[in-house]
A and B are shown apart, each in its own frame.
Chain A
Amino acid sequence: MSEAAHPIDPDEPILRRIPIVPGYFDPAKAPPVQAGAFRPNPDELDGISFFRERELSVSELVAGTKRAAGSFAVARLTARDLLDLGLTL
């Protein structure tokens, strides 16, 4: 479903998959989520990608990779968390 059809509500949960890799997610650190988890990929020139939980569940997001279970964590934020940082969606 397009964003135009369903505008993002500030309270809408959004997801980002984070590999459990040094610099991205380290269970031994507090907080475990590291800056790399939100660094743009080389092909993300104008922002970074999140998934809308209303369209893709956490389990579907984790299952959407061939990597072994336990290779990823999923961060759940609300759109408002990003808007409060002055970012646009």
Chain B
Amino acid sequence: MPSLGADMDAGTVVRWLVKPGDDVRRGDVVAVIDTEKATIEAEIFESGVVEELVVHEGERVPVGTVLARLGTPSVAPPPSKRRARPEPALVTAPAAVATGAPAAPAPPPRLAPAAHSPVVRHLAEQLGVDLARCHGTGPGGAITRADVERAARPRAGEAPARRRAARRAGAAAVTPGRPAQAPSQPPGPRRPVSPYARRLAAELGVDLGAVRGTGPEGSIVAHDVQLAAAEAAAAGREDLTAPPGETPARAPAAAAARPEQPDAERQAALRRAIGALMARSKREIPHYYLSTTIDVGAALGWLEQANLDRAVPERLVLPVLLLKATARAVAKVPEMNGFFVDGAFVPSEAVHVGVAVSLRTGGVIAPAIHDVARLSADELMGKLRDLVGRARAGALRSSEMSDPTITVTNLGDLGVEAVFGVIYPPQVALVGFGRATERPVARDGLLGVRPCVTATLSADHRASDGHRGGRFLAEIDRLLQEPETL
């Protein structure tokens, strides 16, 4: 795929003008390429015989990808990165139904995706909107930017506050490279103290809490600190010694980061976003932690049986049961499912389980699978697979980011036995599952070996307490002992 412009990252082969077996000469136009800005004829720079068309019509590949092979092949071509595009289909609107009244004019047929403007296509890709299902309000039924943005928004009818709060939390992790929103200020009154006064207070050992401020807006200024220090010295009092305060470090010189590659920059930005989110979570949410060991012998046995009837691509895995159990357990302990917003816990009717997915570029995001409790095991498996794939490809929908009501993190496949995670605000609980391992278990006085999973709960103490948390884990355990009911 040639670079046909300064800002071209990828292109689509719209049409091949040659086929295997054709003779081509240097300078011949061999393909028509769509670059999102324009359609360009691509020429070839070598002469030879076309051996193989590696990239097919309709495929969109990054600049630099091998498009075709000429001459005698000597080595097998390296796997090219391809992202298959859906077949463009012309969708025609249903004909207007005659109702006796003058029929409304039939809406114009919607355009095939290939004919949408490059801006629209790019935006749709970015927001994870399926253009084939997007309603167009532009001329001729064309899909406009606004249409795409509208399609990407979360469903109407949800509490706006929750959405805003959730978006604030989730927005940081949606797209790599976008920095987190500024975390809200911790509650409580702030006393303005000028930087110089603060420094002086540290140097002079003055407790700012006892100083009256006379500066602008009631701020404590150097004069006030100096006065306090002088008074203390005069009165010979010693209890004005301030608690050991750190000397404010000199602000580090702002060094503009100049990463070598854009990837590094995105990784760094993602790290920062996650870091900010986690820092805020730790700062604002009083976490408590519980763990329990769950015997998953029954669950594994059920899976084995169930998978006998399923083709390999459709086989169920343990996380499906873990997710179901978690979602169902919420019914017994609703304080685990919802949001802590504006100083109060708001339970959620729906149970949308956020699934923590690790990204190849580094970092973790936790998009939601909706209504987990109501899904069948197969449906859940399908959604889980789809979600992980799309999360890693950066094709999530914003509703998936803003909707989790509780999150599950499952690092079992990495071999970790137990994980105590950090809650994603404004949620109030995070359930962790470790690796399934064979462990010695005492039962009825006898020692046996059973497959076990350590389940952990990180929960918000403002919404629940250890008793309720324990109840929750116990319920998950109970459900997993009866996997056929899940």
> Are A and B associated in one complex?
no
A residues at B contact (CB < 8 Å): none
